[in-house]
């Protein structure tokens, strides 16, 4: 499953998080895959795409970052292509509805 992780940096200060990643890595437990990330220009939030099949791995990862001041929102997401396949049978039906 894919998850969009929304991280909020305290006081819009991403430097401590980047320093920690540089010095210690991402602290990912085995089985949790980092796919990519995007950061807002004002350094308020980072959006990370993660992949795993066991939600406990996300819990372990969040716990590994406790004390950093970063808050985490975890949102399950479905790729657009897969969503398109789910919606396709309803496209004609909704026009008739």
Higher per-residue pLDDT: 93 or 11 = 11
User: What's the pLDDT score for residue 9?
Assistant: 97
- What confidence category does residue 20 fall into, taking pLDDT thresholds of 50, 70 and 90? very high
Residue ranges per structural domain of the chain: 2-96
Q: Which CATH number fits domain 2-96: 3.30.70, 1.10.3470, 2.60.40, 3.40.1350?
A: 3.30.70
* Cα three-residue angle 36-40-43, rounded to 5 degrees: 110
Coil, strand or helix at 45: strand
Write down the pLDDT at residue 92.
85
Say which residues have a Cβ less than 8 Å from residue 32's Cβ, sequence separation at least 6: 50, 51, 52, 57, 58, 60, 61
Q: What is this structure's pTM?
A: 0.86
What is the rounded distance in angstroms from the CA atom of residue 86 to the CA atom of residue 38?
Answer: 27
């Amino acid at each position: 499953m894919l998850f969009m992780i929304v991280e909020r940096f305290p006081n819009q200060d991403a430097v401590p998080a980047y320093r920690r990643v540089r010095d210690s890595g991402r602290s990912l437990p085995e089985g949790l895959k980092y796919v990519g990330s995007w950061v807002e220009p004002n350094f308020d939030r980072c959006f990370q795409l993660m992949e795993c099949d066991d939600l406990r791995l996300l819990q372990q990862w969040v716990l590994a970052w406790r004390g950093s001041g970063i808050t985490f929102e975890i949102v399950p997401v479905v790729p657009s292509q897969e969503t398109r396949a789910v919606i396709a049978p309803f496209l004609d039906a909704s026009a008739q509805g």
